Amino acid sequence: MLKEKFYVQKAWFGLIIFWSFVRIATAELYFSNYGINIWTFAVVEIVSSPILARASSRMAVALKYHEIRQSILWGSLTMVSFSAPDVYLLTAGRGLPWTAYGMVLLLMTIAGTASVIKLQQKVSLQASLNCDDD
């Protein structure tokens, strides 16, 4: 079980890092004409991604064990690291069309909501598995 948990955490970390490179390529493609320094965006994305991976997994564990203070702490760090690249994108861009703001905010909302739903499912599944062990 511990070995399986280790692989799940590594896969989660890898998925987040992969997604960060997809976001960097997308930002280069769509936002570089609007004053976005792609290297600054890449640094923000690459620095925030491992923090996001760690904080979100710690938040899941805290929620699993009903540690409210810890889940709030890790949840806050998750939210900051998740939104940091998008905040840079929206604040550094010059002359971004309103549709760009809408798309970034929509993607943030969809990704955030999907993450919360997936996290709730994982915590519920883990709780049901723990009840079966008793």
Give me the tens of pLDDT residue by residue for the chain, a chain 134 residues long.
567 667 777 888 888 899 899 999 988 998 888 888 999 999 999 999 999 988 988 887 787 787 888 888 888 898 899 889 989 988 888 888 888 888 888 887 887 787 777 767 766 766 666 665 55
* CA gap 86, 104 in Å, rounded: 7
Sign of CA dihedral 126, 18, 32, 30: negative
CA distances from 92 to 34, 58, 83 (A): 9, 31, 14
Is the Cβ–Cβ distance between 107 and 85 less than 8 Å?
no
Q: Number of C-alpha atoms within 13 angstroms, CB side, residue 13?
A: 12
pTM: 0.73
